[in-house]
Amino acid sequence: MAKEDVIVIGSGGGGAVIAKELGEMGLKVLVLEAGPWYGNKKWQNPNLQPGAKISSTFDDLDVSLYKQLVNKYEQNMNDLVSGRFRWGPADRSRSQWFRNIKQKGMIWQSSGVGGTTQVYTANCPRAFPMAVDHVWPLSYLELIPYYEKVEDTLPVNFAPTTAKEELFYYGAKKAGWHLIPTLDVTVPGFRPQPNAILPPNNNILNPHVRLEELSWMEGCTLAGHCVNGCPHGPSMDKIAKRSTNVSYVPLALKTSNVTIRPNAFVLKIVTDIDSSEGLRAIGVVIRDTWTGEKEELQAKVVVMAAGSIESPRLWMNSGLPHNPWVGKGLVNHYMDWLTGIFAEKELMPILGSSDVNPFVGHTCGARLDYPGLGTLQTVGMSPGLTASFFGMSESGYDFLTSSMTKGRLYGDELKEVMTNYRRTLSVLVSTDDEVDPQNGITLDPLISDEHGSVPVVAYKPTKRSKRKRSELVKIAVDILYKAGAKKIIWSNWPAGNMIHMESTMRMGFVVDENCESYDVKRLYIADNSVHYNSLGGPNPTLTTQALATRTAEKLFNKYF
Amino acid sequence: MAQVDEALDLSVYEYIIWILDHSISIPIEMQLQLVHPTFSKSTAQLLDVAAAQLIQTGQVKYPLNVCAFSGGGPFASLMESDRLKAITLLERLELNLENLPSPYQNNPGLIQNMMDVLNQLTMFGHYSEWNAYGSTRLLPPESRRIEYFPPGWIEVQYPGPAFGYRDFRGYLMAFPHKRGEDSWRKRT
């Protein structure tokens, strides 16, 4: 059995990053991914046939195949049960993988090369310095060079302005907020979203270049399919939205040191006891999701990057030592959702157009940051997803009609809002969420699947998180009214909406400041789960990627 | 009411049944005692238990229509606002959780979650392209083909998947890349 230098479990936000970094350092890396690989010649029909076992060369990437598979249809791509971007095996005629969640909510994660970054909106804000300094086991200053490296590699840029950002900036200014022209946020204010999306091509406004031609050129076309899967660009490594399958994975393959194996679910971390190191990781057991065959693979170092649910689940299903913080302390930015409906005559003088067209431009192009409270972000999505977000509420149906509805939409009111879909602006509230050991991932004592005991996911906000969310809701309502909204829908989302999960394998508790586990040597973690807290509210991916970059360095220096 | 009629016209209930019955793998369904009846059937039974309680306790505002939906139970016979009341009853857990079908029996979190899920699925089924898969809509996903422009998208004037839009209005700020504005381009 060939022994790898490093095995990385998961190819999403963190796994692809650490694989590329280690590959560039000359280590032989095997990345194991549970889901399919879209846009690789070795998997022409990734959802129908097993295809090849591995791919390790950049030449295998095929943008035409990617464009054929990632077809931007929201049910086909985003359905949580049968969509291409779901948490499940490549074969879509089979069910998704089960998680037991005994409360209102949903878990938005995706398997497949690129992981959940396939479906993320590419937002790349840094953590708030105040949420890291004197709180985390490392300082914000120590993170900055790694932030810069990731921002340069993805690359990150500020979102261009389309109508919905313009409307948000207009409302925020009228509400008394100022532009904060910074990456390191210490005071409240609005700013364009730092996004891992290539800037629009210079021909975006050139009527002689057809939009279809533009979609084969470099740069964002403002098509609005960040969540449905962006396939626009001339080659796989130059797709506009920088999911890791188009950013870090191509770079990893270019090192000639990285091999990626999709359709491989890791069941167990294998350990032994070494006379000098004590308990240490020496490999993994995987299960081929097409054939069901199991196999043991060995490595000098193992990196878990399976996400905030699967990393602790794998730890516990592997029977690794009991640590009271494994799976505990889940934060999810205790989110909420507000939508303003605007009248044509109000929009004309602000935008020069009668519609907001939420489906145009970056899905999340503008934000307001408030250290100590959290963040607000504009969101514009395709209609099915938009409508489905009106179906979730902690407060059920609101049977009242006024200029503000709190609760779930139904009947004529839903109809009215959706008829006005093109004149809506939605805002996502993302709270500076507090770590509470009551929240997190445990194993279901009664239910197991082909990969072991299934995870139970539980989250309840603390009083402080609740207070912060309600402050942010007030700010969002004010901005929407100041922008001219004639009516606001306040969804009052359930607490269990898991979109930004973090902190279930906390730094300083489960892993040290270099992200190596305290209990098992040579076992590292490179996903959101190592975050010490919720970063103050900003989206987690960039921080995960910065930490993964740093972890690669630390791991290399210690063991190679 | 119009919404409900249109959701019926678009056969969104078929979408919900398909999703519920394909959401959990058979080995897990067996552990949840969900094979007979299926997840969609036990969910329908859950709604019927709530509707029956509403009817028996005289909380129904409108007359029942037993012919509203062929083969339908008490829930299907309710008018829209009474159905919402039945859902609210379940959401508030104002009924005996002992008498519910598996897997809902004594499972308050799942009941509450399902009330959101049913609403979400109805809306996603209605306003996504699902209906436009037409005669292929109940086939496995890889065999579905779009047969016409989705009615939900016509309703909201969504133009459908796009190659791009020309609504570029400039930048509010330029990103301060430490290694020079175009380092990414140079490297690739």
Give A517-526 pLDDT, tens digit per residue.
999 999 999 9
B169–A221 C-beta distance less than 8 A: no
Percentage of chain B lying above the pLDDT 90 cut: 78
Q: How confident is the model at residue B6 (pLDDT cuts 50, 70, 90)?
A: low
User: CB count, 10 Å around CB of A379?
Assistant: 24
> Concatenated DSSP letters for A477-516?
HHHHHHTT-SEEEE----TEEESS-B-TT-BTTTB-TTSB
Whether residue A2 lies within 8 A of chain B, CB to CB, comes out as no
A261: left (phi over 0), alpha (psi -120 to 50) or beta: beta
pLDDT of residue B181: 47
Report ipTM for this prediction. Answer: 0.96
- Contact assessment for residue B4 and residue A411, using Cβ atoms and an 8 Å cutoff: yes
* Under-70 pLDDT residues of chain A: 1-2, 399-401
Q: Quick: pLDDT tens for B128-180.
A: 999 999 999 999 999 999 999 999 999 999 999 999 999 999 999 999 886 54
Q: How confident is the model at residue B9 (pLDDT cuts 50, 70, 90)?
A: confident
Closest chain A residue by Cα to residue B1? A411
d(C-alpha A237, C-alpha A246), whole Å: 5
Token pair of A80 as six digits:
């949580």
Q: How confident is the model at residue B69 (pLDDT cuts 50, 70, 90)?
A: confident
Of B25, B120, B158, the CB nearest to A95: B25
d(C-alpha A282, C-alpha A5), whole Å: 10
**For residue B148, with 0-12 CB atoms within 10 Å meaning exposed, 13-18 middle and 19 or more buried, which class applies?**
exposed
Backbone torsions φ then ψ of A139, nearest 5 degrees: -90, 165
Backbone torsions φ then ψ of A318, nearest 5 degrees: -85, -5
CA-nearest of A334, A155, A371, A360 to A251 is A155
- Residue A486: C-alpha distances to residues A107, A121, A133, A162 (Å): 32, 28, 42, 21
d(C-alpha A340, C-alpha A20), whole Å: 42
A376: left (phi over 0), alpha (psi -120 to 50) or beta: beta
Of A153, A211, A454, the CB nearest to B164: A211
Relative orientation angle of helices B2-9 and B12-22, to the nearest 10 degrees: 70
* Helical H segments across A42-160, by residue range: 63-69, 74-78, 129-132, 140-153
Read off the pLDDT of each residue in B25-47 and give the average, rounded to a whole number: 92
- Contact assessment for residue A505 and residue A313, using Cβ atoms and an 8 Å cutoff: no
User: CB count, 10 Å around CB of A194?
Assistant: 24
Q: Is A140 helix (H, G, I), strand (E, B) or coil?
A: helix
- Residue A470: C-alpha distances to residues A99, A368, A409, A466, A473 (Å): 29, 15, 20, 6, 5
**Residue B3 pLDDT exceeds 90:** no
pLDDT of residue B4: 45
Backbone torsions φ then ψ of A9, nearest 5 degrees: -100, 105
Q: Count chain A–chain B contacts defined by CB atoms under 8 A.
A: 255
Q: How far is CA A475 from the centre of its chain?
A: 25
Whether residue A79 lies within 8 A of chain B, CB to CB, comes out as yes
**Residue B185 pLDDT exceeds 60:** no
pLDDT of residue A401: 59
Whether residue A138 lies within 8 A of chain B, CB to CB, comes out as no
Of A94, A412, A494, the CB nearest to B116: A494
B23–A81 C-beta distance less than 8 A: yes
**Long-range contacts: A44-51, Cβ < 8 Å, 24+?**
A45/B142, A46/A90, A46/A262, A47/A84, A47/A90, A47/A91, A47/A92, A47/B141, A47/B142, A48/A91, A48/B142, A50/A263, A50/A288, A50/A290, A50/A291
Q: How far is CA B12 from the centre of its chain?
A: 8
Token pair of B39 as six digits:
């997840």
User: CB count, 10 Å around CB of B23?
Assistant: 20
Q: Quick: pLDDT tens for B103-113.
A: 999 999 999 99
Specify which residues A55 forms β-bridges with. A260
Q: Is A5 helix (H, G, I), strand (E, B) or coil?
A: strand
Q: Quick: pLDDT tens for A112-131.
A: 999 999 999 999 999 999 99
Q: Which residues of A173-185 are buried (b: 16+ CB within 10 A; e: fewer)?
A: eebebeebeebeb
Least Cα separation, residue B80 to chain A (angstroms): 8
Optimal mutation site among B85, B112, B166, B177, interface A, most CBs of chain A within 10 A: B166
Considering only CB atoms, which chain B residues are within 8 Å of A454? 28
CA-based torsion, A162, A166, A168, A172: positive or negative:
positive
> Strand locations in A77-137, DSSP E?
105-107
**Residue B186 pLDDT exceeds 70:** no
Chain A segment 422-461 residues within 8 A of B by beta carbon are: 422, 446-450, 454
- What pTM, to 2 d.p., does this model score? 0.96
Token pair of A299 as six digits:
């490595």
Q: Which residues of A75-89 are buried (b: 16+ CB within 10 A; e: fewer)?
A: bbbbbbbbbbbbbbb
A419–B164 C-beta distance less than 8 A: no
Considering only CB atoms, which chain B residues are within 8 Å of A72? 161-162
d(C-alpha B26, C-alpha B37), whole Å: 12
**Residue B82 pLDDT exceeds 80:** yes
d(C-alpha A108, C-alpha B120), whole Å: 14
* Helical H segments across A267-390, by residue range: 307-317, 344-351, 383-389
